């Protein structure tokens, strides 16, 4: 069984490696640059800002196999708060079990304790959007739209 826990500084190298796997798998990110230093710095900021940021990991046998990270903030139009994900990723070999649900439930708990009135989850990578969307709906989430992406320049 995987342990779901808060990410720590010591986890950052594994989180960077897991992020690289996500970047390589995601159709949307093909042709874009993956900056390991930028990812590490972001992980550091989130880990050290527990009042506004959340970074959870799923660990099995000393290896991080999944993560969810996000933030809580006020809506642009008023003082009520919402939480949203920055990334949700489970290594392909660990998909289909209960790890994803356990990660998400812990994220929901954090969001509520941080004062969020709602949790907004996106599916922006292009990795199995129908499967992920169906799972979110089974867990009580409602779809309010979709994302559209238009690329202007190729990345060198």
pLDDT attached to residue 156 = 53
Asked, for residue 102, whether it belongs to a domain, the answer is yes
Full residue range of the structural domain in which residue 107 is found: 3-138
Assess if residue 83 is contained within a domain: yes
153 assigned to some structural domain:
no
- pLDDT tens per residue across span 48-67: 999 999 999 999 999 999 99
pLDDT tens digits for range 64-88: 999 999 999 999 999 999 999 999 9
Residue 148 lies in a domain: no
Overall average pLDDT of the 24-30 stretch: 95
Give long-range contacts, CB 8 A cutoff, 24+ apart: 23-31. 25/92, 25/125, 25/127, 26/125, 26/126, 26/127, 27/125, 27/126, 27/127, 28/124, 28/125, 28/126, 28/149, 29/125, 31/154, 31/155
The answer as to whether 155 is a domain residue is no
Counting the structural domains of the chain, the total is: 1
CATH number of the domain to which 119 belongs: 3.40.630.30
Tell me whether residue 11 is in a domain.
yes
Q: Output the pLDDT for position 146.
A: 87
């Amino acid at each position: 069984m995987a342990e779901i826990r808060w990410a720590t500084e010591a986890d950052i190298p594994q989180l960077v490696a897991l992020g690289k796997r996500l970047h390589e798998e995601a159709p949307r990110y093909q042709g874009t640059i993956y900056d390991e230093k930028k990812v590490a710095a972001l992980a550091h900021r989130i880990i050290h800002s527990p009042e506004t940021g959340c970074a959870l990991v799923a660990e099995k046998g000393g290896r991080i196999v999944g993560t969810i990270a996000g933030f809580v903030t006020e809506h642009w139009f008023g003082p009520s708060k919402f939480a949203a994900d920055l990334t949700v990723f489970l290594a392909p070999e660990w998909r289909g079990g209960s790890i994803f649900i356990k990660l998400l439930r812990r994220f929901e708990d954090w969001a509520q304790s941080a004062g969020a009135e709602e949790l907004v989850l996106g599916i922006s990578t292009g990795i199995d959007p129908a499967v992920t969307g169906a799972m979110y709906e089974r867990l009580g989430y409602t779809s309010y739209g979709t994302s559209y992406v238009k690329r202007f320049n190729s990345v060198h």
